[in-house]
Amino acid sequence: MIPASELILRPDGSLYHLALLPGQVAETIITVGDPERVAQVSRRFDRVELRVEAREFVTHTGELDGRRLTVISTGIGTDNIDIVFNELDALFNIDLARREIKDRLTSLTFLRLGTSGSFQPDLPLDSFLLSQAALAMDGLLPFYPAAGADDSLTTSLAGHLAEQGVQAPVPLRIVRPQLPDLNWAAVPALAHGITLTAAGFYAPQGRSLRLASGLDPALLLALRSLRSGELRITNIEMETAGIYGLANALGHRSASLSALLANRTAGTFSRQPAATVERLIDQGLFLLTGHGVA
Ligand code: R1P
Ligand code: URA
Protein backbone atom coordinates (compact mmCIF):
# COMPACT_ATOMS: atom_id res chain seq x y z
CA MET A 1 0.00 0.00 0.00
CA ILE A 2 1.40 3.40 -1.00
CA PRO A 3 1.35 5.72 2.04
CA ALA A 4 -0.63 8.98 2.20
CA SER A 5 2.61 11.01 2.22
CA GLU A 6 3.71 9.55 -1.14
CA LEU A 7 0.47 9.42 -3.10
CA ILE A 8 -1.30 12.55 -1.96
CA LEU A 9 -4.98 12.91 -2.72
CA ARG A 10 -7.35 15.83 -2.27
CA PRO A 11 -10.48 15.37 -0.12
CA ASP A 12 -12.50 14.53 -3.26
CA GLY A 13 -10.02 11.76 -4.14
CA SER A 14 -8.34 13.68 -6.96
CA LEU A 15 -4.58 13.95 -7.37
CA TYR A 16 -2.81 16.56 -5.26
CA HIS A 17 -1.34 18.81 -7.96
CA LEU A 18 -3.39 18.08 -11.06
CA ALA A 19 -6.79 17.85 -9.28
CA LEU A 20 -7.82 15.08 -11.68
CA LEU A 21 -9.82 11.92 -11.05
CA PRO A 22 -9.59 8.56 -12.84
CA GLY A 23 -11.62 8.55 -16.06
CA GLN A 24 -11.11 12.26 -16.71
CA VAL A 25 -8.05 11.88 -18.93
CA ALA A 26 -7.76 10.29 -22.38
CA GLU A 27 -5.07 7.76 -23.25
CA THR A 28 -3.71 10.21 -25.85
CA ILE A 29 -2.36 13.30 -24.13
CA ILE A 30 -1.02 16.54 -25.62
CA THR A 31 1.31 18.46 -23.30
CA VAL A 32 1.97 22.16 -23.72
CA GLY A 33 4.02 24.51 -21.54
CA ASP A 34 1.78 27.57 -21.57
CA PRO A 35 -1.57 27.19 -19.73
CA GLU A 36 -3.18 29.52 -22.30
CA ARG A 37 -2.23 27.12 -25.08
CA VAL A 38 -4.60 24.48 -23.66
CA ALA A 39 -7.72 26.36 -24.81
CA GLN A 40 -6.01 27.10 -28.14
CA VAL A 41 -5.84 23.33 -28.64
CA SER A 42 -9.25 22.36 -27.25
CA ARG A 43 -10.95 25.10 -29.28
CA ARG A 44 -10.38 22.77 -32.24
CA PHE A 45 -12.09 19.79 -30.54
CA ASP A 46 -15.62 18.80 -31.63
CA ARG A 47 -16.64 18.80 -27.98
CA VAL A 48 -14.95 19.38 -24.62
CA GLU A 49 -16.18 17.17 -21.75
CA LEU A 50 -13.89 18.39 -18.95
CA ARG A 51 -12.04 21.55 -17.92
CA VAL A 52 -9.95 21.48 -14.71
CA GLU A 53 -7.47 24.10 -13.51
CA ALA A 54 -4.99 23.81 -10.62
CA ARG A 55 -1.90 26.03 -10.39
CA GLU A 56 -0.21 25.99 -13.82
CA PHE A 57 -1.85 22.67 -14.69
CA VAL A 58 -4.85 23.30 -16.92
CA THR A 59 -6.50 20.18 -18.33
CA HIS A 60 -9.13 19.89 -21.06
CA THR A 61 -10.47 16.54 -22.28
CA GLY A 62 -12.62 16.20 -25.37
CA GLU A 63 -13.01 14.57 -28.73
CA LEU A 64 -11.89 15.35 -32.25
CA ASP A 65 -13.06 13.25 -35.19
CA GLY A 66 -14.05 10.41 -32.85
CA ARG A 67 -10.69 10.38 -31.01
CA ARG A 68 -10.69 11.16 -27.28
CA LEU A 69 -7.88 13.56 -26.42
CA THR A 70 -6.59 15.35 -23.35
CA VAL A 71 -4.51 18.51 -23.49
CA ILE A 72 -2.68 19.57 -20.32
CA SER A 73 -0.29 22.42 -19.53
CA THR A 74 2.87 21.45 -17.68
CA GLY A 75 4.18 24.95 -17.07
CA ILE A 76 7.90 25.41 -17.63
CA GLY A 77 10.66 22.94 -16.86
CA THR A 78 11.35 19.30 -16.08
CA ASP A 79 10.55 19.79 -12.38
CA ASN A 80 6.95 20.15 -13.52
CA ILE A 81 7.28 17.18 -15.88
CA ASP A 82 8.12 15.08 -12.80
CA ILE A 83 4.75 16.00 -11.28
CA VAL A 84 2.63 15.80 -14.42
CA PHE A 85 3.95 12.45 -15.61
CA ASN A 86 3.83 10.74 -12.21
CA GLU A 87 0.30 11.96 -11.50
CA LEU A 88 -1.07 11.21 -14.99
CA ASP A 89 0.43 7.72 -14.81
CA ALA A 90 -1.08 7.24 -11.33
CA LEU A 91 -4.54 8.08 -12.72
CA PHE A 92 -4.32 5.02 -14.96
CA ASN A 93 -1.95 2.62 -13.29
CA ILE A 94 -2.54 2.99 -9.55
CA ASP A 95 -5.77 1.99 -7.85
CA LEU A 96 -6.17 5.24 -5.92
CA ALA A 97 -8.71 3.85 -3.45
CA ARG A 98 -6.58 0.81 -2.53
CA ARG A 99 -3.30 2.70 -3.06
CA GLU A 100 -1.90 -0.21 -5.03
CA ILE A 101 -0.26 -0.57 -8.42
CA LYS A 102 -2.67 -2.21 -10.83
CA ASP A 103 -1.95 -5.67 -12.29
CA ARG A 104 -2.83 -4.51 -15.81
CA LEU A 105 -0.97 -1.37 -16.81
CA THR A 106 -2.14 1.13 -19.43
CA SER A 107 0.39 2.54 -21.87
CA LEU A 108 -0.31 6.17 -22.79
CA THR A 109 0.66 8.29 -25.79
CA PHE A 110 2.13 11.74 -25.20
CA LEU A 111 2.73 14.49 -27.75
CA ARG A 112 4.45 17.69 -26.59
CA LEU A 113 3.58 20.75 -28.66
CA GLY A 114 6.09 23.37 -27.54
CA THR A 115 8.41 26.15 -28.55
CA SER A 116 12.17 26.01 -28.78
CA GLY A 117 15.33 27.78 -29.91
CA SER A 118 17.17 26.56 -32.99
CA PHE A 119 20.75 25.54 -32.30
CA GLN A 120 21.91 25.27 -35.92
CA PRO A 121 22.14 28.08 -38.49
CA ASP A 122 20.33 26.15 -41.25
CA LEU A 123 17.12 25.52 -39.26
CA PRO A 124 14.82 28.45 -40.08
CA LEU A 125 12.68 30.42 -37.69
CA ASP A 126 9.04 29.25 -37.55
CA SER A 127 9.92 25.74 -38.78
CA PHE A 128 9.00 22.53 -36.91
CA LEU A 129 11.19 19.85 -35.43
CA LEU A 130 10.63 16.31 -34.11
CA SER A 131 12.99 15.34 -31.28
CA GLN A 132 14.39 11.90 -32.14
CA ALA A 133 16.26 11.99 -28.84
CA ALA A 134 16.87 14.41 -25.99
CA LEU A 135 20.08 15.45 -24.28
CA ALA A 136 19.38 16.03 -20.58
CA MET A 137 21.30 18.99 -19.18
CA ASP A 138 18.74 19.67 -16.47
CA GLY A 139 19.07 17.33 -13.48
CA LEU A 140 15.83 15.29 -13.27
CA LEU A 141 16.78 11.96 -14.80
CA PRO A 142 19.50 10.87 -12.32
CA PHE A 143 16.63 10.46 -9.86
CA TYR A 144 14.97 7.92 -12.17
CA PRO A 145 17.29 4.97 -12.83
CA ALA A 146 14.57 3.39 -15.01
CA ALA A 147 14.68 6.37 -17.42
CA GLY A 148 17.64 4.69 -19.15
CA ALA A 149 19.91 6.24 -21.73
CA ASP A 150 20.91 5.70 -25.32
CA ASP A 151 24.36 4.33 -24.50
CA SER A 152 25.78 4.68 -27.97
CA LEU A 153 24.73 8.33 -28.39
CA THR A 154 25.73 9.20 -24.81
CA THR A 155 29.17 7.61 -25.29
CA SER A 156 29.77 9.37 -28.60
CA LEU A 157 28.79 12.68 -26.98
CA ALA A 158 31.21 12.09 -24.08
CA GLY A 159 34.00 11.19 -26.54
CA HIS A 160 33.29 14.27 -28.66
CA LEU A 161 33.40 16.61 -25.65
CA ALA A 162 36.64 15.00 -24.44
CA GLU A 163 38.18 15.46 -27.92
CA GLN A 164 37.21 19.13 -27.83
CA GLY A 165 38.63 19.45 -24.31
CA VAL A 166 35.38 20.75 -22.79
CA GLN A 167 33.37 19.67 -19.77
CA ALA A 168 29.65 19.94 -19.10
CA PRO A 169 28.46 21.53 -15.84
CA VAL A 170 26.28 18.47 -15.08
CA PRO A 171 26.49 14.81 -16.13
CA LEU A 172 24.99 14.51 -19.62
CA ARG A 173 22.90 11.68 -21.00
CA ILE A 174 20.88 11.21 -24.16
CA VAL A 175 17.50 9.47 -24.01
CA ARG A 176 15.55 8.13 -26.95
CA PRO A 177 11.79 7.74 -26.69
CA GLN A 178 9.42 5.05 -27.89
CA LEU A 179 7.91 7.35 -30.50
CA PRO A 180 4.19 6.95 -31.17
CA ASP A 181 3.44 5.41 -34.52
CA LEU A 182 2.34 8.59 -36.32
CA ASN A 183 2.70 9.68 -39.93
CA TRP A 184 5.60 12.11 -39.36
CA ALA A 185 6.37 12.20 -43.09
CA ALA A 186 3.05 14.02 -43.64
CA VAL A 187 4.34 17.12 -41.85
CA PRO A 188 5.91 19.37 -44.49
CA ALA A 189 9.62 20.17 -43.99
CA LEU A 190 9.75 18.53 -40.56
CA ALA A 191 13.33 18.59 -39.23
CA HIS A 192 14.63 15.84 -36.94
CA GLY A 193 17.32 15.97 -34.31
CA ILE A 194 18.51 15.73 -30.75
CA THR A 195 16.90 18.29 -28.46
CA LEU A 196 18.94 19.79 -25.65
CA THR A 197 16.87 20.20 -22.48
CA ALA A 198 18.17 22.91 -20.17
CA ALA A 199 17.50 23.67 -16.50
CA GLY A 200 16.57 27.29 -17.20
CA PHE A 201 15.94 29.78 -19.98
CA TYR A 202 18.76 32.29 -19.49
CA ALA A 203 22.20 31.27 -18.21
CA PRO A 204 21.51 27.51 -18.57
CA GLN A 205 20.86 28.12 -22.29
CA GLY A 206 23.86 30.47 -22.63
CA ARG A 207 21.86 33.74 -22.51
CA SER A 208 23.39 36.74 -20.72
CA LEU A 209 21.26 39.75 -19.81
CA ARG A 210 22.59 41.50 -16.67
CA LEU A 211 24.08 38.25 -15.42
CA ALA A 212 26.78 36.60 -17.48
CA SER A 213 26.02 32.99 -18.38
CA GLY A 214 28.46 30.51 -16.90
CA LEU A 215 27.77 28.09 -19.75
CA ASP A 216 31.12 27.69 -21.48
CA PRO A 217 30.82 28.99 -25.09
CA ALA A 218 33.30 26.26 -26.06
CA LEU A 219 30.83 23.68 -24.72
CA LEU A 220 28.06 25.19 -26.83
CA LEU A 221 30.29 25.03 -29.92
CA ALA A 222 31.20 21.43 -29.16
CA LEU A 223 27.54 20.46 -28.69
CA ARG A 224 26.69 22.17 -31.97
CA SER A 225 29.36 20.21 -33.85
CA LEU A 226 28.40 16.75 -32.54
CA ARG A 227 27.46 14.36 -35.35
CA SER A 228 26.22 10.79 -34.88
CA GLY A 229 25.13 9.36 -38.22
CA GLU A 230 22.32 11.63 -39.39
CA LEU A 231 21.78 13.00 -35.91
CA ARG A 232 22.99 16.30 -34.47
CA ILE A 233 21.85 18.58 -31.67
CA THR A 234 19.28 20.80 -33.29
CA ASN A 235 17.45 22.81 -30.66
CA ILE A 236 17.15 23.80 -27.03
CA GLU A 237 14.17 23.96 -24.68
CA MET A 238 13.16 22.92 -21.17
CA GLU A 239 10.98 19.76 -21.03
CA THR A 240 11.75 17.11 -23.65
CA ALA A 241 14.42 15.04 -21.84
CA GLY A 242 12.16 14.80 -18.79
CA ILE A 243 9.22 13.74 -20.94
CA TYR A 244 11.24 11.12 -22.80
CA GLY A 245 12.94 9.74 -19.68
CA LEU A 246 9.78 9.48 -17.60
CA ALA A 247 7.67 8.13 -20.46
CA ASN A 248 10.29 5.42 -21.06
CA ALA A 249 10.50 4.57 -17.36
CA LEU A 250 6.71 4.34 -17.01
CA GLY A 251 6.16 2.41 -20.26
CA HIS A 252 4.50 5.15 -22.32
CA ARG A 253 5.10 6.44 -25.83
CA SER A 254 6.15 10.05 -26.25
CA ALA A 255 7.12 12.57 -28.90
CA SER A 256 8.14 16.19 -28.70
CA LEU A 257 7.30 18.52 -31.57
CA SER A 258 8.78 22.00 -31.38
CA ALA A 259 8.21 25.25 -33.22
CA LEU A 260 11.58 26.96 -33.58
CA LEU A 261 10.91 30.53 -32.47
CA ALA A 262 14.46 31.69 -31.72
CA ASN A 263 17.64 31.13 -33.72
CA ARG A 264 20.47 31.11 -31.21
CA THR A 265 23.23 31.25 -33.81
CA ALA A 266 21.76 34.21 -35.71
CA GLY A 267 20.41 35.99 -32.61
CA THR A 268 16.95 36.29 -34.18
CA PHE A 269 13.40 35.70 -32.93
CA SER A 270 10.19 34.95 -34.83
CA ARG A 271 8.11 37.93 -36.02
CA GLN A 272 4.99 35.75 -35.89
CA PRO A 273 5.24 33.50 -32.82
CA ALA A 274 1.48 33.28 -32.23
CA ALA A 275 0.70 32.26 -35.83
CA THR A 276 3.51 29.69 -35.75
CA VAL A 277 2.17 28.11 -32.57
CA GLU A 278 -1.32 27.95 -34.16
CA ARG A 279 0.20 26.07 -37.13
CA LEU A 280 2.03 23.75 -34.73
CA ILE A 281 -1.26 22.90 -33.00
CA ASP A 282 -2.87 22.18 -36.39
CA GLN A 283 0.01 19.85 -37.29
CA GLY A 284 -0.13 18.07 -33.93
CA LEU A 285 -3.87 17.44 -34.20
CA PHE A 286 -3.46 16.32 -37.80
CA LEU A 287 -0.84 13.78 -36.70
CA LEU A 288 -3.04 12.40 -33.91
CA THR A 289 -6.41 12.36 -35.67
CA GLY A 290 -5.92 13.02 -39.39
CA HIS A 291 -8.09 16.11 -38.87
CA GLY A 292 -7.31 19.23 -40.90
CA VAL A 293 -4.56 19.71 -43.42
CA ALA A 294 -0.89 18.95 -42.96
C1 R1P B 1 10.39 28.93 -22.28
O2 R1P B 1 9.96 30.10 -22.87
C3 R1P B 1 9.37 27.82 -22.43
O4 R1P B 1 9.07 27.64 -23.83
C5 R1P B 1 9.35 26.30 -24.22
C6 R1P B 1 10.38 25.86 -23.22
O7 R1P B 1 10.53 24.47 -23.21
C8 R1P B 1 9.89 26.48 -21.95
O9 R1P B 1 8.84 25.76 -21.36
O10 R1P B 1 8.23 25.44 -24.28
P11 R1P B 1 6.69 25.88 -24.20
O12 R1P B 1 6.47 26.84 -25.32
O13 R1P B 1 5.89 24.65 -24.38
O14 R1P B 1 6.46 26.47 -22.83
N1 URA C 1 12.13 28.01 -25.41
C2 URA C 1 13.35 27.84 -24.89
O3 URA C 1 13.51 27.18 -23.86
N4 URA C 1 14.39 28.43 -25.51
C5 URA C 1 14.26 29.19 -26.60
O6 URA C 1 15.25 29.73 -27.09
C7 URA C 1 12.97 29.36 -27.14
C8 URA C 1 11.90 28.75 -26.53
Do residues 127 and 279 make contact, with C-beta atoms less than 8 angstroms apart?
no
Residue 99 CA, ligand 1 centroid: distance in Å: 34
If you take atom 5 of ligand 2, which residue's CA is the nearest one?
A: 117
Q: State residue 292's pLDDT score.
A: 82
Q: For residue range 185-235, what is the model confidence (pLDDT) as tens digits?
A: 999 999 999 999 999 999 999 999 999 999 999 999 999 999 999 899 999
Residue 131: pLDDT band with limits 50, 70, 90: very high
Q: For residue range 21-72, what is the model confidence (pLDDT) as tens digits?
A: 999 999 999 999 999 999 999 999 999 999 999 999 999 999 999 999 999 9
- Phi and psi at residue 219, in whole multiples of 5°? -65, -45
Residue 116 CA, ligand 2 centroid: distance in Å: 4
Interatomic CA distance for residues 42 and 290, integer angstroms: 16
Interatomic CA distance for residues 216 and 207, integer angstroms: 11
Ligand nearest to the backbone CA of 261 = 2
Q: Is the CB of 117 under 6 A from ligand 2?
A: yes
CATH number of 28-289: 3.40.50.1580
Provide the mean pLDDT of the chain: 97
Query: Mean pLDDT across the stretch 82-110?
Result: 98
Residue 259: pLDDT band with limits 50, 70, 90: very high
Sequence-distant (6+) residues with CB within 8 A of 44 are 64, 281, 282, 285, 291, 292
Rg (CA), the chain: 19
Q: Which of 83, 102, 79, 84 is nearest to 92 (CA)?
A: 102
Domain ranges of the chain: 28-289
